[in-house]
Amino acid sequence: MIPFGHRMEIGMRLVLASVFLVLAAGAQAADCNKWKASLEEGEGGSRMVARMCNAAGGKLTVECGAPGALMMAFAPKGDFAPPGDNPDFVGRFSIKVGSETFDRDMTYWAMDGVMGLEISVRDKLADALSKAEGGTVSFASPEPGIADSGFSLNGASAALKKLEASCRRSKQAT
């Protein structure tokens, strides 16, 4: 039999663990309410990344690419795999920002488990994203097994402007 004092301690630990789980889940859900741009550590050191998630477990990131370009990557859900588990998959996607639709080929980036696309900062898609506020950006593909995904544009304009400024600074530094 467990002494009363130890039962109280075990009970308090269980209550605290439950509270931390609820708070962590709430914090994760809060992360999906607004775009964020922040420095993250990567293979080449620190880099600015703008990111958003959705309730279905999808994620969308935009970061600096080659000079004058942005890299956009999205996964419709947490453990995304391309059709037929093809590591060389390239598929056509309709990307809708507000009332504008952009058809683009996206490539599966196996190392990250996402569909990726490099776009010029002068591309109409990049322009639409950086000016968007409110509404959604959505990705649709006719390929079987790829669910349509939508992401809020809440805070996208500010996050992408911060990202683009970081890209210009890093270009000047090289």
Residues 6+ apart with CB under 8 A from 64: 47, 48, 70, 71, 163, 166, 167, 170
> What is the rounded distance in angstroms from the CA atom of residue 160 to the CA atom of residue 56?
23
CATH of segment(s) 34-173: 2.60.40.1880
CB distance 70 to 167 below 8 Å: yes
CB distance 107 to 115 below 8 Å: yes
Question: Does position 73 have pLDDT exceeding 80, yes or no?
Answer: yes
Q: What is the pLDDT of residue 77?
A: 82
Q: State percent of the chain over pLDDT 70.
A: 79
CB distance 49 to 63 below 8 Å: yes
Average pLDDT value for the chain = 81
Tens digit of pLDDT for each residue in 77-131?
Answer: 877 889 989 999 999 999 999 899 999 999 999 998 999 999 998 999 999 998 8
60 or 42, higher pLDDT: 60
